[in-house]
Amino acid sequence: MSKKELIVREEILGSNKKVAAEIREKLEAAGVLVVNLLSSPGSGKTTLLERIVETLHPTHPLAVIEGDIETERDADRIRRKGVPAWQITTGGACHLEAKMVGKLLPEIPAETKFLFIENVGNLVCPAGYDLGENIRCVLLSAPEGDDKPKKYPKAFASADCLIFTKSDLIPYLPFDLEKAGNEALDLNPRLRIFVTSALKGRGIAELARYFIESRVNMIQHQRHA
């Protein structure tokens, strides 16, 4: 018996990254922009998605994947809007992984232009898993507090866009929008920031436009590549 030292230097989540890259490549070729929504539970991901769905559907065909630990509730809410939605129930796992999304790809209708993935409500674990998205959005609702970006740095550092939700509550809360925005920009100077209220309809049109423009950019970028 002999000892052997094996230098590996492999990413532990490399297999997830590989699957995510395949998903991105496949959906980009099909003209589908993929958006991954991350936030803590109760920050308003599903309600925001309902407003986005109402804005984009049916002019811009979209599909939705809902991640939750249990229940079909969120997918049901989206289906009621007439949009295809799939529920992934992780049965306890705190995040979605690329292979879970990959399994659903054959079911996505050919005319789809946007795929929204609502991750399991959690501001920690989902940040480590690429799902093949083009845009990662992190949501922060006013009741959660303006100190969250630096407490959960990875989620904010790895996002492309920060969406403040429930902004209609800001007048009633000690929530400093500018402070929270600046903290997030410290972590990630390239963040695009949107201020929304799903209840009052604030910021929804701007956000929808951002997704539409991002898809146009993605397609133009492909043509040049």
In the shown chain, the binding pattern of residues 145 to 174 toward another protein, with x for contact by CB under 8 A and - for none, equals -----x--xx--x-----------------
Q: Is 178 in the site for another protein (CB under 8 A)?
A: no
Of the candidates 165, 138, 166, the residue with the CA atom closest to the CA atom of residue 152: 138
SS (H, E, C) 159-201: CCEEEEECHHHHHHCCCCHHHHHHHHHHHCCCCEEEECECCCC
Q: Is 29 in the site for another protein (CB under 8 A)?
A: no
Binding another protein by CB under 8 A: which of 112, 167, 188, 214?
188
Stated length of the chain: 225
Binding another protein by CB under 8 A: which of 22, 72, 176, 186?
186
120 vs 174: CA distance, rounded Å: 27
Give ∠ CA 196-136-97 in degrees, rounded to 5. 130
Q: Is 225 in the site for another protein (CB under 8 A)?
A: no
Near another protein in 121-150, by CB under 8 A? 124-125, 127-129, 150
Q: How large is the C-alpha radius of gyration of the chain?
A: 18
CA distances (Å), origin 169, targets 140, 142, 198: 13, 7, 11
What would the two tokens of residue 77 be? 């809410």
Q: Is 70 in the site for another protein (CB under 8 A)?
A: no
Residue count, binding to another protein (CB under 8 A): 34
Identify whether the C-beta of residue 136 lies closer than 8 Å to the C-beta of residue 158: yes
Identify whether the C-beta of residue 156 lies closer than 8 Å to the C-beta of residue 149: yes
User: Looking at beta carbons only, is 168 or 186 nearer to another protein?
Assistant: 186
CB 185, min distance to another protein, A: 8
Binding another protein by CB under 8 A: which of 11, 70, 111, 206?
11
In the shown chain, the binding pattern of residues 77 to 96 toward another protein, with x for contact by CB under 8 A and - for none, equals ----------------xxx-
Binding another protein by CB under 8 A: which of 82, 189, 224, 225?
189
Contact footprint for another protein (CB under 8 A): 1-16, 93-95, 97, 124-125, 127-129, 150, 153-154, 157, 185-189
